[in-house]
Structure 1
Amino acid sequence: MSIAYYDGQYVERDTIRINPTDFGFARGVTLFELARVYSGKPFCLMAHLQRLERGAKMLDLPLPALTELTDIATGVIARNAYAHSAIKFYLTAGECARPSGSSYMACDGFTPHLMIFEDEVVPKHPEAPYGLELYQSGQRLKIVPYDRDLPMLKTTNYLTGFYAARQVAGADYDDILFTHRDGYITEATRSNFFCVIDDVLVTPQRGMLMGITRHVMLELAAQLGIKTIERDLFPADLAQATEAFTTGSIAELMPARSIDGHQLPTTMNGKIFIALRQAFSANIYG
């Protein structure tokens, strides 16, 4: 039985219940974080918790101190003792003690809830968590004219991506690339986007969630001497791309084989992708 943390106690995960009047459920006001755990050691945990803390401050939700959160997360990890896992943090707005139909400002006396779950992760390959064949073939990405609400917050609201992936992109694509209303590319549904144009690593600079794995990639690229630019990327720019990949905590580095009609010459065999993949593996397993 998986052990979780809920409002001050370690409990069996299956015993946790959420009140349907919780604004986390009824209004979607829930902050979310996910950090990978390799051989019992959380990867970039403090960066994830700092982002959670920034979100809590923006939404005026109480959160334990980062040192306490670290201890709690370590306690969950120790109790479950998975070889590899993902630890997930959920902070809901809670129930409104004095609800009012006239205004959100009239709601007060909230009782927020903090939940920390851990799911076992069993990578199919050390450098391709979802399976080597999938990474070798690469993703087919579809550009769509949508963007994320409040991209500075990591929340449980994936409605736009869910809708676009199923209703707009269709079965001929594996994931989508959001574009801001001003036309520039922002991110994929659950990951950040990188491409290589004229031997330069390029990634969007605004309008998206600033991912933790994205930040690690930028640091590794700097260490390797790879020329990198953060700038606005437009769909027309991607016709010149020779490599492309997305980054996220679970998938790590996921190469692309096509973007709309543009076929990329490489997937896992791209020069820059190989360098970053090897550096990332050394960073997490070294």
Structure 2
Amino acid sequence: MAPPGPDAHSGRASRPAPWPALRVRTVTYERELPHLKHAATLGLTYQTLQARKSGFDDVLFVGRDGFVREGSVWNAAFWDGEQVLWPDAPVLPGITMQLLQAALTRVGVPWSTRRLTTGDLPALRAAAATNSHCPNQPLAAIDRVLFPGGDTGLTEVLAAAWAEVPWDSV
């Protein structure tokens, strides 16, 4: 299915889902100065291309400390069945992630940051990539951990929060 197109009135995506679920692999990689957006993207681009050559859609970075960080050009969100979890690790705090966190708070959906390892992933019910192109792109699998889509709570919660994000006129 093609991604949703912009709404003629607002210019934003008319609906944030469904986007195809991605299969990603983890790699040990840490962006330089991860909290800053910058043009030094050779490493993350290389890692993404290597993942695609191996049959994956994208990559999820894990630091040398073993903690889950972020995707190539997206922040990772997880669902434990009760709240949205964001990795507590050095990442670029994406605008979409920041807007979603504020919106989740406004609509009363609990969220928190937590140090997550790949060993924690099997206990989670869902995972998603969040960025300016799609605030709730589901992840079908991370390495061999499957998120089969039976629990759509995360993508639904993120879509509902995204619908509450106020937009500025430009």
What range is the shorter-chain TM-score in? 0.7 to 0.9
- Aligned-partner SS, 2:125: strand
* 38 and 181 in structure 1: CA distance in 2 versus 1, 3 angstrom threshold: farther
Larger Rg: 1
Q: Corresponding residue for 2:37?
A: 154
Q: Corresponding residue for 1:180?
A: 63
The letter for the 1-side match of 2:31 is: R
1:170 & 1:203 partners in 2: Cα distance? Answer: 28
**Equivalent pair of 1:142/1:260 in contact (CA under 8 Å):** yes
The CA deviation string for residues 39-73 of structure 1, in whole angstroms up to 9 with x for no partner, is 687xxxxxxxxxxxxxxxxxxxxxxxxxxxxxxxx
Q: Does 2:120 match 1:231?
A: no
* Structure holding more helix per residue: 1
Aligned runs of 1:206-245 on 2, under 5 Å? 206-245=89-128
Q: Corresponding residue for 2:163?
A: 281
* Structure holding more strand per residue: 1
**Equivalent pair of 1:158/1:189 in contact (CA under 8 Å):** no
The structure whose RCO (Cα within 8 Å, separation 6+) is larger is 2
Q: Corresponding residue for 2:53?
A: 170
Gaps spanning 5+ residues in structure 2: where?
1-5
Q: Tell me the percent identity.
A: 25
Deviation at 1:224, TM superposition (A): 2.7
**Equivalent pair of 1:140/1:258 in contact (CA under 8 Å):** yes
Superposed CA RMSD: 2.6
2:128 & 2:155 partners in 1: Cα distance? Answer: 8
The CA deviation string for residues 155-192 of structure 1, in whole angstroms up to 9 with x for no partner, is 12221121111224534211111111111011000010
* 153 and 38 in structure 1: CA distance in 2 versus 1, 3 angstrom threshold: farther
TM-score normalized by the length of structure 2: 0.83
Q: Does 2:112 match 1:190?
A: no
- Aligned-partner SS, 2:136: strand
The letter for the 2-side match of 1:139 is: L
Gaps spanning 5+ residues in structure 1: where?
1-36, 42-82, 85-122
